[in-house]
A and B are shown apart, each in its own frame.
Chain A
Amino acid sequence: MLLSFDCAVSALADCIIRERCSAPGSDSVESRVSVTQFLMRLHASMPDYLRLPMRCLTLAFDAWPLLITGKPFHRLSHERRCRQIEAWRHSRFGKFRDLIKFYDSLVIFGWYSALYPLTPDAPGRSAVMSPARQGRLSVHE
């Protein structure tokens, strides 16, 4: 498929990490994949009325260079990707700026969360409290 939401998100994450997150480990493919997975999970969790517009805007971002280069964003070289992100980051259209700000903030948070993991207070304990019974409430079938 020419345009791809997943590929566009992955390419955006990859470019922002390489461009902004210069810490040791920024060449780790595994960490970049985990950031992309984090973005996809967040996209699935976001308010439903924002999900479709965000998907459409991301696809529009992917399609943006088609007319000039014949390729979608996710197939561009790293340098050309960076130029497009920078152009949208400073665009006069607020929605374009908002899209890049959205990905900037989540990629950066996802990346640094992986790079500097916080430790749980009590590792190893079961996280979820499990249901044990069909309570004392009356149940009408």
Chain B
Amino acid sequence: MSNIITAGNGALEAEIVVVGSGPGGAITAALLAEAGRNVLLVEDGPYMRLDSAPHFSQQEMMQKYRNGGITVGMGNANVSYVEGRCVGGGSEINRGLYHRTPADVLERWSTEFGIQALLYPDLEPHFDACEETVRVSYLPGEAPLLSRKLDIGAQKLGWNAVEVPRLVRYDGANRAHGTKQSMTETFVPRFFDAGGTLLSNTRIRALTRPGRSWSLRGEYRPDLAVHRDVTIRAGTVFLACGAIQTPALLRRSGIKRNVGNTLHFHPMIKVVAQFPEEVNPPDALDPVHQIKEFDPQFSLGCSMSSPSALALAMTDHSVFLHEVDRNWKHMAIYYAQATGGVGTVRSIPGFRDPLVRVRFTPHELSDVRDGLVSLCRCLFAAGADVLYPSISNSPPLESPADLRHIADLPAHRANLQTLHLFSTCPMGQTESRCVADSFGKVHGTDHLYIADASLLPAPTIVNPQGTVMAVAHRNVLRFLEQSRPAVRAEPQRTRVPTNVPMYVPSVSSRKS
């Protein structure tokens, strides 16, 4: 791995520094390096193999989650969230469910924020290019019963459920479960092949522009015993630290206009369902169904349901934990996900971690509640015996009549989570509300760009990784065109086996 460096005692220099190696940062770095640029990719967390720890395990939390996964947005309803802190960022720890951005969402963003060239036809070639490197596939066989239960319930209620493709490659030694197409499996190797250089375990504290170049000050901390201050000088900087860390870094650096004021997310509430039959056998394939019938108000889905995940989801009903011991193969986790709620990100002087605050209007909470009620109706229709919603001091639900217990969703008792965070540095030409222009260049600065989910001006409605990748791809090609017109990166082609189900790109998803 000759592309990986450690920090020495002096200052590092690079033509371009990309801070953050998640989907936005890895794609940006790879395309810049392939265009012949001298690129240093800096990552706060360690460089671990995708398979360094079992997925959703205690070990993975400690290795790859920021703050061990103990991160929460505080407000009238607390929302716990997770961020990846490792090379590959969120792509290493998410489930890889994939959607292209709906055309109506892009149209709304373009109008409201004055974003140029972001309609679906503009973004389509960038989806195509990204999907050539990160394989997008449907499950190679039938989805597990816990996933199909969502489809069964939806059909009985006259709704549509869709099987969602994933960023997973189903071939080679691990054909049944596949290999997730995280950044360490896809764009980071492309970055290395093009001669890029990675500095991991390095947190950037602040950036300044003393002259014609940027100076980034940080600390290199590969383990508890080593702590070294780092200075990096660069002509151009791309920030791709994610929707929480990018605004925090900008604010620590004195760049505050509109920064971190409009955090958006997909608030999610979970339900554990217990069925009379076995729905969750050991070694089951990942669940993939979603109900998009009610978008954009809310959507419904299913989660990985290992015994430890089930136990965690049963915390609000811990007197029934013995059911996990006895019946975990009959139990599965489902979620309702809405789009409401807004928050702020602020750095606190003297502290390392940013403060995230959130707030919900009663109407936004009622969307979450409506999603939860619809999910419960669907699961009862699919044959569930008992449902355990993630609401403190809430009784288990044993029939649709019990849904009266969640007629109101009390903000302080609902255990909300989110995996999708965005909009803290919205892009657009409307400078009064945007941080960056239509292609990610930070307003009022020179040679400073953003390349992550913080650019997305509002909720994506769908899983956002596809949007983050395509927007990063679009923006970095634009940067290359403008900064060196003669050079244009060609997306690298990957060999595609022919005997696995392939994702067929379209605006609408496949119906199951």
Binding site for B on A (CB under 8 A): 20-24, 38, 41-42, 45-50, 90, 94, 97-98, 101, 104-105, 108-122, 125-141
Contact A47 B57, CB 8 Å, known A20-B321, A132-B2: no
Determine whether B129 belongs to the interface, using a CB cutoff of 8 Å to chain A.
no
- Could you tell me the distance between the alpha carbons of A97 and B325 in the complex, rounded to whole angstroms? 26
Q: In the complex the two chains form, is A122's CB within 8 Å of B51's CB?
A: yes
The distance from the CB of B287 to the nearest CB of chain A, in whole angstroms, is 16
Further pairs besides A20-B319, A108-B318, A109-B311: 20, Cβ < 8 Å: A21-B321, A23-B325, A42-B68, A46-B70, A47-B351, A49-B348, A50-B72, A104-B315, A109-B58, A116-B308, A117-B54, A118-B55, A118-B306, A125-B51, A127-B49, A129-B200, A130-B1, A132-B4, A137-B38, A140-B11
Interface residues on B, range: 35 or more
Give chain A residues whose Cβ lies under 8 Å from the Cβ of B53: 120, 127
- Could you tell me the distance between the alpha carbons of A41 and B62 in the complex, rounded to whole angstroms? 8
The distance from the CB of B330 to the nearest CB of chain A, in whole angstroms, is 15
Give chain A residues whose Cβ lies under 8 Å from the Cβ of B68: 41-42, 45-46
Interface residues of B in 325-366 (CB under 8 A from A): 325, 328, 348, 351-353, 355
Contact A135 B5, CB 8 Å, known A46-B68, A104-B315, A113-B308: yes
- Could you tell me the distance between the alpha carbons of A130 and B311 in the complex, rounded to whole angstroms? 35
Q: In the complex the two chains form, is A112's CB within 8 Å of B311's CB?
A: yes
Q: In the complex the two chains form, is A120's CB within 8 Å of B308's CB?
A: no
Q: In the complex the two chains form, is B312's CB within 8 Å of A112's CB?
A: yes
The distance from the CB of B140 to the nearest CB of chain A, in whole angstroms, is 16
What 0/1 readout, one digit per residue, does chain B (388-417) give for beta carbons within 8 Å of chain A? 000011000000000000000000100000
Give chain B residues whose Cβ lies under 8 Å from the Cβ of A47: 67, 70-71, 351-353
Q: In the complex the two chains form, is B312's CB within 8 Å of A109's CB?
A: yes
Residue of A at shortest CB range from B9? A141
Give chain A residues whose Cβ lies under 8 Å from the Cβ of B75: none
Binding site for A on B (CB under 8 A): 1-6, 8-14, 38, 40, 46-49, 51-58, 62-63, 67-72, 78, 87, 174, 177, 195, 197, 199-200, 222, 306-308, 310-312, 314-315, 318-319, 321-322, 324-325, 328, 348, 351-353, 355, 392-393, 412
Give chain B residues whose Cβ lies under 8 Å from the Cβ of A90: 393
Q: In the complex the two chains form, is B412's CB within 8 Å of A116's CB?
A: no
Q: In the complex the two chains form, is A48's CB within 8 Å of B353's CB?
A: yes
Give chain B residues whose Cβ lies under 8 Å from the Cβ of A49: 348, 351, 353, 355
Residue of A at shortest CB range from B54? A118
- Could you tell me the distance between the alpha carbons of A89 and B463 in the complex, rounded to whole angstroms? 35
Complex A-B, nearest 10 residue pairs according to Cβ-Cβ distance, in ascending order: A118-B54, A135-B5, A127-B52, A45-B68, A47-B353, A112-B311, A116-B307, A129-B47, A112-B308, A46-B70
The distance from the CB of A55 to the nearest CB of chain B, in whole angstroms, is 13
Give chain A residues whose Cβ lies under 8 Å from the Cβ of B311: 108-109, 111-112
Q: In the complex the two chains form, is A45's CB within 8 Å of B67's CB?
A: yes
- Could you tell me the distance between the alpha carbons of A78 and B62 in the complex, rounded to whole angstroms? 30
Residue of B at shortest CB range from A44? B68
Q: In the complex the two chains form, is A121's CB within 8 Å of B51's CB?
A: yes
Give chain A residues whose Cβ lies under 8 Å from the Cβ of B10: 139-141
- Could you tell me the distance between the alpha carbons of A68 and B318 in the complex, rounded to whole angstroms? 29
- Which of B70, B71, B412 neighbours the largest number of chain A CB atoms within 10 Å of its CB? B70
- Could you tell me the distance between the alpha carbons of A126 and B50 in the complex, rounded to whole angstroms? 11
The distance from the CB of A139 to the nearest CB of chain B, in whole angstroms, is 5
- Could you tell me the distance between the alpha carbons of A93 and B177 in the complex, rounded to whole angstroms? 46
Give chain A residues whose Cβ lies under 8 Å from the Cβ of B310: 112
Contact A115 B307, CB 8 Å, known A42-B68, A48-B352, A121-B177: yes
Q: In the complex the two chains form, is A131's CB within 8 Å of B4's CB?
A: yes
Q: In the complex the two chains form, is B392's CB within 8 Å of A108's CB?
A: no
Give chain B residues whose Cβ lies under 8 Å from the Cβ of A22: 321-322, 325
- Which of A45, A50, A118, A133 neighbours the largest number of chain B CB atoms within 10 Å of its CB? A118
- Could you tell me the distance between the alpha carbons of A48 and B349 in the complex, rounded to whole angstroms? 12
The distance from the CB of B87 to the nearest CB of chain A, in whole angstroms, is 8
Q: In the complex the two chains form, is A137's CB within 8 Å of B51's CB?
A: no
Residue of B at shortest CB range from A34? B58
**CB-contact partner of A116 in B5, B306, B355, under 8 A:** B306
